Amino acid sequence: MTTTAPTCAIPAPESSVPDAELIARATAAREELGDRLVILGHHYQKHEVVRFADITGDSFLLARRGAEATHADLVLFLGVYFMAEAADILSRDHQRVVLPDLGAGCHLAECADIFTVNDAWQQITDAFPDRTIIPLTYMNSGADLKAFVGRNNGAVCTSGNAERAFRWAREQGDMVFFFPDEHLGRNTACRLGMDPAHPVVWDPRQADLGGIGPDALSAAEIVLWKGFCNVHTGFTVPQIHEAREQHPDVTVIVHPECPRPVVEAADEDGSTEYIIRRVGEMPAGATVAIGTDWNLVDRLRLQHPDKTVFCLKEDLCPCVTMNRITLSKLTWALENLAAGDVVNVVSVDDAMAADARLALDRMLAL
């Protein structure tokens, strides 16, 4: 990560500057930058900032589209840190990636770090030297973990292609080590026909073999990291029952980062892009309850006024770190870029980026 001293200060306190003024200032700076800049906006961002995005999508799609925007030397990412890292890994040599708030992170991604994963890997490989263990990391992970799986013949996966990635990994070896999301891993294993109780869970807080007995670990085909998304684990089976009681014709769609009982109780589960597509496919008058980030659900509600779209938990707090990027911070970033000061650059070390790119390329090959 590198930064430069800013020319323009963040409007502070943020509430002291009217939104209309911030929108006008951000728009003027954006227009001044022209084709030099491409703005990528993740689906979970606030309406006030995602409105400025040239491209919206999930994290991997955005990283690819940023690299494809070869006319731009500046890539401004409205998302969180691991997304900006991925964009930098895939970026062209002349491009720099900017994150308006370097504190925008992801609880799930932070459930696994390179030190505890290295320790787990050493324990597993020492205990079973004759087994071929294939590491898989979710897109929601740091660049160092993507590089780790790249060096160790593994791959990255998204929630949309996790099933393909797991099938590939099982063909390559006899044990899959997946991190950092236990729930996506378990739901994916079930898609492969496995019993929900079959995958074992590695708890990094347990010193010996992640708290897994040697016999259980020896018999395991899939080892899942004990990590979770604090938004998607906020959805429950009783919420689904309540939605069905209030709307007998409701279709319930949840994200596969939700716990297994929630996925089993829902009608469908799928990635963010899947959820968006399914809502669009539904006929006028349809009722759909969605278990994912509130910002996206609210946007779908606004985009489909002919349908009843609501969040399974309407008082759900949107991802706090995802929402760190505000209109004020976006304005600050744009005005500094327009003034020639490239602030909050996210830059991944070349060696790490090369290993991480291997893991991403293996995913693309699937």
- The encoded tokens of residue 63 equal 């990283």
Tell me what the pLDDT averaged over the chain comes to.
94
State the residue for tokens 């670990």: 217
Distance, in Å, from the CA atom of 141 to the CA atom of 272, rounded to the nearest integer, reads 17
Cis peptide, bond prior to residue 318, ω within 30 of zero: no
What CATH number should be reported for the domain whose range is 109-229?
A: 3.40.50
74: enclosing H helix or E strand? strand 74-78
**Residue 118, pLDDT score:** 98
Distance, in Å, from the CA atom of 78 to the CA atom of 294, rounded to the nearest integer, reads 16
Tell me the angle at which helices 114-127 and 143-151 cross, rounded to the nearest 10 degrees.
Answer: 20
Distance, in Å, from the CA atom of 311 to the CA atom of 290, rounded to the nearest integer, reads 5
Non-local (6+) Cβ contacts of 274 within 8 A are 160, 253
Q: Which residue has the higher pLDDT, 8 or 253?
A: 253
* 3.40.50.10800, 2.30.38.10, 3.30.360.10, 3.40.50.280: CATH of 14-105+321-350: 3.40.50.10800
Query: pTM of the full predicted structure?
Result: 0.93
**Residue 322, pLDDT score:** 83
Of 186, 177, 280, which is closest to residue 228 (Cα–Cα)? 186
Distance, in Å, from the CA atom of 144 to the CA atom of 152, rounded to the nearest integer, reads 12
- The encoded tokens of residue 268 equal 């469908």
330 touches 45 (CB < 8 A): no
- pLDDT, tens only, 8-67: 665 555 557 899 999 999 999 999 999 999 999 999 999 999 999 999 999 888 988 999
- pLDDT, tens only, 308-333: 999 999 888 777 888 899 999 999 99
Of 162, 96, 78, 59, which is closest to residue 346 (Cα–Cα)? 96
- The encoded tokens of residue 224 equal 């899942």
Distance, in Å, from the CA atom of 77 to the CA atom of 101, rounded to the nearest integer, reads 10
Say which DSSP state 250 is in: -
Domain ranges of the chain: 14-105+321-350, 109-229, 232-311
Q: Do domains 109-229 and 232-311 have the same CATH topology?
A: yes
* Residue 109 zone, left/alpha/beta (φ > 0; ψ -120 to 50; rest): alpha
Q: Which CATH class is domain 232-311?
A: alpha beta
- The encoded tokens of residue 327 equal 């209109």
